[in-house]
Structure 1
Amino acid sequence: MRPWQTLSRPLRRYPVRPPDSGIKRRKSIWERIHLDPWLLGLLLLLMGGGLLVLYSASGQRIDTVIAQAIRFGVAIVVMVVIAQLSPSTFLRWAPFAYGVGLAMLVAVEIVGDVGMGAKRWLEIPGVIRFQPSEMMKLAVPLMVAAYLNRCQLPPRFRHILVCAVIIGVPVVLTAIQPDLGTSLLVASAAVIVVLLAGLSWRLIGLVSALIAAGLPLLWMNMQNYQRQRVLTFLDPDSDPLGSGWNIIQSTTAIGSGGLWGKGWLKGTQSQLEFLPERHTDFIIAVLGEEFGLVGMLVLLFLYVVIVGRGLWLATSSQDTFGRLLAGSIILTFFIYVFVNVGMVSGILPVVGVPLPLVSYGGTSSVTLMAGFGILMSIHAHRRLLPR
């Protein structure tokens, strides 16, 4: 073949990579739907184990387990939907969510539904019954993170005062329901945002001193049963058949489980109904009695892995708002676990905090999964944010 005939042949096209550009890889299904498969798998495993324990704790009532499974299904749907939204959407809607939450807390005081001696619920007859204070566990840190996102960090004292007002109003409205446990969790979720913003040690010391100075005022404004809980924590045997009954029975159940437990559905404290609130706040005592120390360690290890995975996702955020909010969500989840295990085992006062995604409850499950949806959204949209 002659040279000019070679030049006249059609050129074969080879893919040429443009300069200074990376090779685009095909996104997985998980990346397209903005979900983290590892965290999702851990949460589903936790829910499945929770339903297993709930069946025993509820007195082997399958209708209770089905109702909880439906609530878990709704919570998962909420998580998936929220994960599709961008962090900028959360930032834009933070004031609206906070305002609606405050309005619902006020509505609870006016037309709230009373249950177990407290006015904490709003009910739409025949449709839904929910607890607005649970939603504030997300709305308040969301608002604080949105505010601090506009401030120069670390925050100054005037910024801390504004955050204190943002936190204080819903906390007071929740505490007067009365619901001291939820109010403390709402406060802790928002305070974590402020701490992650980078407070100076001087400000931390000043705020700690103010909190310590306000403890006597808090004690004077607590309900009688709340004071009794604190006194019972210090000496449970002072009233073994009254205020000390819960903690004595829960520690007895956990201790009687031993290393391997008595076996599923074979717990005496729970099945014979000595253990109060066994399907809600004290459900981990049921697990400890039936599955022993090994079962409790497996559950706690699962929680630790979830928190670790959540922290890894939180560190991937590329803006202030995302880091503050994501860090608050996963660290607050850790506080829920710590407080519940602590109060059931007797190292903390009983404050009525459910065990996340194990205790029976609808609003708390939806709120927790919505928080994980926000966490996954922040991680999934990290490449869309300016570096």
Structure 2
Amino acid sequence: MSYAVPSHRDTPRGLAKLFALNWALILLLCAVAGAGFLMLYSNAGGSFSPWAGPQMIRFGVGLVAMVVIAMVPLRFWRWVAPFAYLGAFALLVLVEIMGSIGMGAQRWIDLGPIQLQPSELMKVTLVMALAAYYSWLDPKKVSHIFWVILPLVLILAPTALVLKQPDLGTALLLVMGGGAVMFLAGVSLWYFGAAVLTVAGMVYAVLKSKGTSWQLLEDYQYRRIFTFLDPAADPLGAGYHITQAKIAMGSGGLAGRGFMQGTQSRLNFLPEKHTDFIFTTLAEEFGFMGSATLLGLYTLVIVFCIASAISNRDRFGALMTGGLTVTFFLFFAVNMGMVMGLMPVVGVPLPLVSYGGSAMLVLLAAFGLVQSAHVHRPRSQQD
């Protein structure tokens, strides 16, 4: 595939940019968010307060922000990418100094009306920075060890800070999202093989370190791992969350118990039912059909984004779109796998469905970048 840098002569101008937006993608995002509003309304017992109402306002603000970001030329985002990364990294450092503590973790910066979670920003700015780096770098050099060092530093430095918060789920997403950009840029598969072996060694070290003076994870993180392996060992303790989640999803059957008729959520058996475990509410109330419908919407979002990335002849736009698409996929794949007991519980929200301010706004901003790459992609004379 050949790449080109878009110029002002081959991209839409003014109001034409609005018509050039991927409106099918916007409608899909609205449909996913709508499912989230319904679940938050149901979890609150048929009330827009305290979750559905604020979530709808945030989505409206984020949707406007997405369109505004999409109108900005792609060359600006290429230029601003390293500065955005440095800003997000500085905020992560600031979290260590003066961050707010919630549920045993120090992840937020208190800005008064909102709680900013810099790690959410880092998921996007990391992809932007790596895409900008590889769009600058000669494709023939991407696998040279010298040119691989900087991307690894860009990925591992924020990952270390996020692990310290501690936030294992976000740390994993940073590593996998950054690795996806490196893979799409054409980095040799030998590096990924070495990474797999390194991860296997780290997992072994993590398990062996439990109970020693050099223990690598917090006690609660070890409980999550062992609960994943055998949730029935402590059904009223560490295994309570996943046990109740499985009961809720199983009771939904094919078509579900009906809207606002889920006993597990209505009787407050479900933990974190408005955030990380909101998918279980949907599965209980709308059953397999509702769950498959949501998964289908997510799949269509991925398909539209992949199609946009493949058709984009600008290297930065293609890599950024591909990296953000993989990050979005990891969001819902990890969350769904987590609540179904296929993965350890790592605290990853369901994108556009779980309640949350930072995650919602940052994700819509990321889709604004995807739209900017789509709107400002180079066009041939035949297009």
Superposition TM-score, scaled by structure 1 size: 0.89
Residue 384 of structure 1 and its aligned partner are, at CA, apart by 6.3
Residue 27 of structure 1 and its aligned partner are, at CA, apart by 9.0
Question: Is 1:139 matched up with 2:134?
Answer: no
**CA offsets per residue over residues 97-145 of structure 1, 9 Å max, x none?**
11111111111111111111111110123x4321111100101111111
CA distance in structure 2 between the aligned counterparts of 1:58 and 1:169, rounded to whole angstroms? 39
Contact 2:126 2:178 in 1 (8 A): yes
Root-mean-square deviation over aligned CA pairs: 2.1
Unaligned ranges ≥5, structure 2: 1-9, 208-214
Aligned to 1:55: 41
Aligned to 1:259: 254
Superposition TM-score, scaled by structure 2 size: 0.90
Residue 308 of structure 1 and its aligned partner are, at CA, apart by 0.6
Determine helix, strand or coil for the equivalent of 1:315.
helix
Question: Is 1:97 matched up with 2:121?
Answer: no
CA distance in structure 2 between the aligned counterparts of 1:58 and 1:217, rounded to whole angstroms? 43
Question: Is 1:209 matched up with 2:197?
Answer: yes
CA distance in structure 1 between the aligned counterparts of 2:144 and 2:114, rounded to whole angstroms? 42
Residue 42 of structure 1 and its aligned partner are, at CA, apart by 0.8
Aligned to 2:105: 118
Q: Which letter does structure 1 place at the counterpart of 2:134?
A: L
Of 342, 353, 361, which aligns to 1:358? 353
Contact 2:260 2:266 in 1 (8 A): yes
Contact 2:314 2:378 in 1 (8 A): no
Q: Which letter does structure 1 place at the counterpart of 2:321?
A: A
Determine helix, strand or coil for the equivalent of 2:122.
helix
Q: Map 1:243-258 to 2 at 5 A.
A: 243-258=238-253
Determine helix, strand or coil for the equivalent of 1:120.
strand
Of 202, 219, 224, which aligns to 1:224? 219
Residue 91 of structure 1 and its aligned partner are, at CA, apart by 1.2
Aligned to 2:277: 282
Contact 1:259 1:292 in 2 (8 A): yes
Contact 2:114 2:357 in 1 (8 A): no
Determine helix, strand or coil for the equivalent of 1:221.
coil
Q: Map 1:231-380 to 2 at 5 A.
A: 231-380=226-375
Determine helix, strand or coil for the equivalent of 2:378.
helix
CA distance in structure 1 between the aligned counterparts of 2:285 and 2:85, rounded to whole angstroms? 42
CA distance in structure 2 between the aligned counterparts of 1:380 and 1:242, rounded to whole angstroms? 51
Residue 30 of structure 1 and its aligned partner are, at CA, apart by 6.5
Amino-acid identity (%):
43
Q: 1:298 to 1:158 in 2, by over 3 A?
A: same
Aligned to 1:6: none
**CA offsets per residue over residues 25-47 of structure 1, 9 Å max, x none?**
x9996744652110011111111
Q: How many residue pairs align between the two structures?
A: 362
CA distance in structure 2 between the aligned counterparts of 1:59 and 1:119, rounded to whole angstroms? 31
Q: Map 1:22-37 to 2 at 5 A.
A: 31-32=17-18, 34-37=20-23
**CA offsets per residue over residues 61-94 of structure 1, 9 Å max, x none?**
3122111111111211221111011221111111
CA distance in structure 2 between the aligned counterparts of 1:218 and 1:322, rounded to whole angstroms? 38
Aligned to 1:68: 55
**CA offsets per residue over residues 8-61 of structure 1, 9 Å max, x none?**
xxxxxxxxxxxxxxxx9x999674465211001111111112101111123333
Contact 1:34 1:83 in 2 (8 A): no
Aligned to 2:172: 184
CA distance in structure 2 between the aligned counterparts of 1:386 and 1:75, rounded to whole angstroms? 34
Q: Which moved more, 1:200-209 or 1:160-169?
A: 200-209
CA distance in structure 2 between the aligned counterparts of 1:152 and 1:317, rounded to whole angstroms? 18
Q: Which moved more, 1:142-151 or 1:70-79?
A: 142-151
Of 61, 75, 81, which aligns to 2:68? 81
**Greater gyration radius:** 1
CA distance in structure 1 between the aligned counterparts of 2:206 and 2:291, rounded to whole angstroms? 34
Please list every run of at least 4 consecutive aligned residues from structure 1 whose deviation after the TM superposition is greater than 6 angstroms.
384-387
Contact 2:17 2:71 in 1 (8 A): no
Unaligned ranges ≥5, structure 1: 1-23
Q: Which letter does structure 1 place at the counterpart of 2:236?
A: L
Residue 183 of structure 1 and its aligned partner are, at CA, apart by 1.3
